[in-house]
Amino acid sequence: MRRHPSLCHRALLLAVFAAAACRGLDARDPAGKESKPRLKREFTMKTLGGRQLWGDVAFFRGFRIQHNVLTGHYRLLDSDDYRHASGTLEKCQQKLAALKKELKLKPMSGKAVVVVHGILRSSKSFDRMCQRLKKEGYTVVAFDYPSTRFDIPKSAEYLHKVVESLEGIEEIHFVVHSMGGLIVRQYRGKHKDKRVKRMVMLGVPNNGAQLADRFRKLGLYRALFGPAGQQLGTDPKGLIATLPVPDFEFAVIAGSRGTLNGYNPLIPGDDDGTVSVASTRLPGAADFLTVKGLHSFLMGHREVIDATLRFLGEGKLRKNGARHSIQKLKARSKKTD
């Protein structure tokens, strides 16, 4: 039975509205900010947003150097998004070095967690998760990238630069949402870092998103989601099908309704409103868990946060220690004459 076109358009508009609402939530200030040195801001300016135009290239104790995808220039921001330098990469690096001396900042060390947001979102969507991670003693790297401006491979190179900048960090974990998981898989296929240990995937379309198949040719979808949106489908010859399975320990958490049909009638099987549970399953995962919840809110879901912290620390999602791994696919044996 063919679905009426207006239903598809309404579903897309609903998804866009939900994403926009979540982006509004992304802008809120996190509760309980950690203590930090007081910065002199006589000549600094708070940024006005535009997160889809900037990509992080370096991180140090809350300071970030970002690259503008339109103009090519750089800026140095502190953890409150105040700008301390703007211009060339070298100028921003020099200013960061001066701030390190002025504030007597010690080199980074210990364990870091890099959070990677999905398409149309920002690192602010991880605020609640980040606060819990900080309380557990992790250095939290809230990574931002221009998700709607570049394709997945180009965005992965921004992640590579940030990981390279984490001098002194001894162990690196990832917590990723939606397309953020595909960014890490792309990154890992091109770059290796022995410090990478574990990752938790939240609602990641590891096998492609059926909604992308349905909407990818619509002008509104193409305008909103950009080049990366064209790579999110289930095409067996598409980008997702070529991405490697992570070669380090990882777990998958999927949002669901807990029913046969899920939240979204346009997605077969159970789903979180955007991605099907089946699509999140990636063979090789050390653990797998479903929670009742919608795609855009998984990062702030209490059960998800508890399970994520447990896996990063102990290698398991459930409090009782049981692990529900996803078996690796067996390699096809070659026929011999």
- Give the span between the Cα atoms of 301 and 200, in whole angstroms: 14
pLDDT value of residue 187: 98
Domain ranges of the chain: 5-28+109-314
pLDDT digits (tens, 9 = 90+) for 7-21: 555 555 545 544 544
**Does residue 217 carry a pLDDT above 70?**
yes
**CB of 176 closer than 8 Å to CB of 116:** yes
**Does residue 208 carry a pLDDT above 50?**
yes
- Give the span between the Cα atoms of 130 and 136, in whole angstroms: 10
CA 267 to chain centre: 22
**Does residue 27 carry a pLDDT above 50?**
no
Backbone angles phi, psi at 139, to 5 degrees: -80, 120
The secondary structure of 6-71 as a DSSP string is: HHHHHHHHHHHHHHHHHHHHHTSPPSSPPP-PPPP-TT-EE----GGGEEEEEEETTEEEEEETTT
The secondary structure of 63-100 as a DSSP string is: EEEEEETTT--EEEE-TT-EEEEEESHHHHHHHHHHHH
- Give the span between the Cα atoms of 135 and 117, in whole angstroms: 20
> What number is the average pLDDT over the span 221-236?
97
Token code pair at residue 161:
């630069």
- Give the span between the Cα atoms of 56 and 52, in whole angstroms: 11
Q: Is the pTM of this model over 0.85?
A: yes
Homologous superfamily in CATH for domain 5-28+109-314: Alpha/Beta hydrolase fold, catalytic domain (3.40.50.1820)
Contacts of 49 (CB under 8 A, 6+ apart): 27
pLDDT digits (tens, 9 = 90+) for 266-280: 999 999 999 999 999
Tokens 């609903």 sit on residue? 14
pLDDT digits (tens, 9 = 90+) for 105-161: 999 999 999 999 999 999 999 999 999 999 999 999 999 999 999 999 999 999 999
Tokens 């700008």 sit on residue? 83
pLDDT value of residue 40: 59
According to DSSP, residue 206 is labeled: T
> What number is the average pLDDT over the span 198-227?
97
**Across-strand partners of 178?**
none
Read off the amino acid at residue 282: L
pLDDT value of residue 329: 74
